[in-house]
Structure 1
């Protein structure tokens, strides 16, 4: 098609209009690999953000205030990563997510549509999800390293640290909630 540069849809990168084909020194293969990894992370970021907000909105119990504030803080942090991920894909000549449908297709985190989730279960699930995100970030970092995409790798390092920090906080809270539960509080 005239005026278009085509990357295979099977590789996770859509047809790119030349007006969106940002110049880069990375090969098309590397752009495709890094963009695929970034788009999976982006989908998981939106899924995790919505799960944090879901739990934030539907929280009840003794630790309402602390967890309500923590979930909101973590949600804002996760949402803040979305623009970084999407714009990084664009800066290297890739394209990024365009719809909720694409998020649903690419996300690797499970949704939680339960009407009620106990606070301990919320904390445990969010901790596991953040640990999953850390693994996905490390994998994407390796993809960026393999492509010699230092800037993407650098952005991902910051995100790895943030996700590890969220998982750590949730782990410590889970320990405390577990002890309270065992003590019958």
Structure 2
């Protein structure tokens, strides 16, 4: 392939064929990309707390947060690829994540284990709400494949929320 032809191919826009329609493609891809930013933000916060947790329950919390981080990271490729399958673009950089994320970062030098788990519990609850809104959007556009994925992600987020809730309950 000569240089002129190669350059022409690089300048072609992304246009994945889909039957969802222009509005659905735009809205669903944008919502999935924002979700992806949130999941990356929550993943990194979970790993941050995994790396920095301390105290008498260190081993249990360290392992739980590692499992939860792995579950979040596993979602990322599915989310990004779904955005591409419906015909839209997705994240391109860390800066792009920071512009879209709704899950807040925590850059504190020290966070108590209880505060770590409480913050992650609240973040996962926020993520469940985001997923439910996205479920409504994809359902309204008859995007059954994305809707089905979201149902599984809601179940996983509710599982993380449950574990974090139970780990933060005060003993009586």
Q: Decide: shared fold, TM above 0.5.
A: yes
Q: Pairwise mapping of residues 8-157 of structure 1 onto structure 2 (< 5 A)?
A: 17-18=12-13, 20-157=14-151
| 1:3-22 deviation digits (Å, cap 9, x = unpaired) | 89xxxxxxxxxxx944x211
Structure number with greater CO (CA < 8 Å, separation at least 6) is 2
Secondary structure of residue in 2 paired with 1:61: coil
Structure 1 stretches of 5 or more lacking a match? 5-15
Secondary structure of residue in 2 paired with 1:135: helix
CA distance in 1 between partners of 2:88 and 2:12 (Å): 10
| 1:90-128 deviation digits (Å, cap 9, x = unpaired) | 011111000001100000011000000000000100000
Q: How many residues align?
A: 164
Secondary structure of residue in 2 paired with 1:35: helix
Structure 2 stretches of 5 or more lacking a match? 1-7
| 1:13-38 deviation digits (Å, cap 9, x = unpaired) | xxx944x2110001111101101110
CA distance in 2 between partners of 1:17 and 1:127 (Å): 43
Structure 1 runs of 4+ with >3 Å offset:
none
CA RMSD after TM alignment: 1.5
CA distance in 1 between partners of 2:12 and 2:30 (Å): 18
Secondary structure of residue in 1 paired with 2:168: helix
CA distance in 2 between partners of 1:164 and 1:40 (Å): 19
**Residue 121 and residue 158 in structure 1: after superposition, are their counterparts in 2 closer, same or farther (change >3 A)?**
same
CA distance in 1 between partners of 2:104 and 2:43 (Å): 12
